[in-house]
Structure 1
Amino acid sequence: MELTAQLDKLAQLGLVLNPDITIEDVLDTVDRQELEEQPFVLLLFSLGSEVQRAPWGRRICNSVWNFDTECIAATGDYVTIVQNLCLLTGDRDYLIDITDSIDLDTGECWLEYTRHGQRQHWQIEANDDWADMLAISYVMEDLQRDGKQFYSLDNGQAMILVYLDRAIAEQLGDLCDEDLEPVIPA
C-alpha cells in the first residue's frame, strides 16, 4: 500500500504527522519500499520516532511513541518517560512538577509528580537500564481519562504506544493486522 494512502488512513484515526514534519522525515527512519510492503506497523514505528537528522529532537507524530524500555541510565530518565506519556494524551501539562531520582548503584530510585493538586510518589525498582513497567503503569493509570487508554504493539525490547479509545484502537489493530493490547486493562 502506498505510503500516502497509509498516512491518510492513519490520519482518519487521528494519527497525523506533526506540522513541521514531511514524508522525507518519515523516510529517514525506514525505506519507502519496506513501508509499502509491510504497511502500518513499520509506519507506526516511524511515527513514534524522532526525525533522524538535524535539527534533532523533533517527534514525527505526537500521538505515537516508540518506547524503548531499555532507557534508564540517570536521574531525569523517568521524567522524560512521563513527559512522553503526557504528550500522547494530548495534554503535556496534565502531570506537573515531575521529578525523579535514579541511583542504579544503590537501587534507590523514585518518581514524583503532581496531579490535580495531589503529589504522587512512586518507588521504582532498579533493573539495570530497564524501565520499571509497574511504576510506569501507575503513571498511565493516572493519565487515562475520557474513555481513552494506552495501547501497545510489541516491538522487541520496545513497544509502540498510542492513547486511544477502544473503537479507534480496534480499527488501528485491523489496519496493522495485529491486536493492540491495552497496557492497563480497563
Structure 2
Amino acid sequence: MLKWLERTILGPTVNEQYSKLEEIGIRLNGNYKLADILHFPVKDYQAKPYLLLLMDMGSEPKDSDREGVICDQLWCFDRECIEDQGDYSLKLNRIGELIKDELELTDISDDIDFEAERASVSFRIDGRACKYDLNFEYDWLDINLFKIFSMLLEQHGSNRRFYYFDTGNNLLVALLHREQWNSLKELTPIFQPA
C-alpha cells in the first residue's frame, strides 16, 4: 500500500524520465550509462521530475578519466563563474563544442575589467569576426551570451536555439530544435528561450 501511495505522490522513476528524454532526442553520449551520472538519491529524481536528471546530464563527468561531455545538448554549470580574464573564453569554448556541428567558433577572447565594470567577448564564427559587449554582473555570467549564439545560429540557417533554466546558482542550458523544446515543455516547463 505504501509503495503505491509513494508512486502516486512522486513523479516518474529516473529510468522512465530518461526514456521520455530519449524519445525526444535528448540522450547520453555513447560512453555513459545512466548509473554513471546520477548525483542524487533516487527519490529526489522523482520529487523533482526531469530537473535533476537534466542537470546531471549537463554536468561535468564525475570520473575525470572519462573523455567528452555527458550529453551534447545540455550544459549545467555554476553561473557565479566569472572571476578573472579568460573566464568568458572558457565558457565560449564549451559553447563552441555545443554548436560545432553547425558553426565553427575560433579565435576566442574576452576582456573583463572589474574596476571599469565592463565585459566583452570576441571570436570568429565561420571566419567572420564578431565582438559583443556583455552586461557586467561581477562574478555572475551574463545569460545574454546564449541569446547572442541563438541569434547567430538563426542567422546561419539553423533551427536549433539555446534555452535555459536558472536554478538560482546553477544555469542549465539546452541547445535544442524547436520541436524538441516543445516536447520538453510538455514534460517539464522549466526552460525559456535565450
Alignment partner, residue 68 of structure 1: 78
- Normalising by structure 2, we get a TM-score of 0.79
Match of 1:122 among 121, 132, 143: 132
- Structure 1 residue 166 corresponds to structure 2 residue 178: yes
Match of 1:109 among 119, 124, 130: 119
Say whether the 8 Å CA contact 2:165–2:173 is kept in structure 1: yes
Residue 108 to residue 10, structure 1, CA distance change in 2 (3 Å): same
Secondary structure of the corresponding residue to residue 162 of structure 1: strand
Matches of 2:139 and 2:180, distance apart in 1: 33
Matches of 1:162 and 1:92, distance apart in 2: 15
Say whether the 8 Å CA contact 2:102–2:158 is kept in structure 1: no
Alignment partner, residue 9 of structure 2: none
Matches of 2:119 and 2:174, distance apart in 1: 26
Secondary structure of the corresponding residue to residue 174 of structure 1: helix
Secondary structure of the corresponding residue to residue 28 of structure 2: coil
- Normalising by structure 1, we get a TM-score of 0.82
Say whether the 8 Å CA contact 1:63–1:89 is kept in structure 2: no
* Letter of the 2:138 counterpart: D
- Structure 1 residue 2 corresponds to structure 2 residue 35: no
Matches of 1:128 and 1:61, distance apart in 2: 29
Gaps of 5+ in 2: 1-11
Matches of 1:57 and 1:123, distance apart in 2: 33
* Letter of the 1:167 counterpart: E
Q: CA deviation at 1:120?
A: 0.7
Q: CA deviation at 1:6?
A: 1.6
Say whether the 8 Å CA contact 2:153–2:160 is kept in structure 1: no
Secondary structure of the corresponding residue to residue 97 of structure 1: strand
CA displacement, residues 65-110 of structure 1 (integer Å, 9 cap, x when unaligned): 1143211012221122222223333538621111123332444533
% identical aligned pairs: 27
Residue 76 to residue 140, structure 1, CA distance change in 2 (3 Å): farther
Task: Give the root-mean-square deviation of aligned CA atoms.
Answer: 2.4
Residue 78 to residue 92, structure 1, CA distance change in 2 (3 Å): farther
Residue 139 to residue 50, structure 1, CA distance change in 2 (3 Å): same
Gaps of 5+ in 1: none
Q: CA deviation at 1:175?
A: 1.0
Structure 2 counterparts to residues 83-98 of structure 1, below 5 A: 83-91=93-101, 94-98=104-108
Matches of 1:135 and 1:24, distance apart in 2: 32
Q: CA deviation at 1:169?
A: 0.6
Alignment partner, residue 180 of structure 1: 191
Say whether the 8 Å CA contact 1:113–1:121 is kept in structure 2: yes
Alignment partner, residue 29 of structure 2: 18
Matches of 1:108 and 1:179, distance apart in 2: 30
Q: CA deviation at 1:47?
A: 0.8
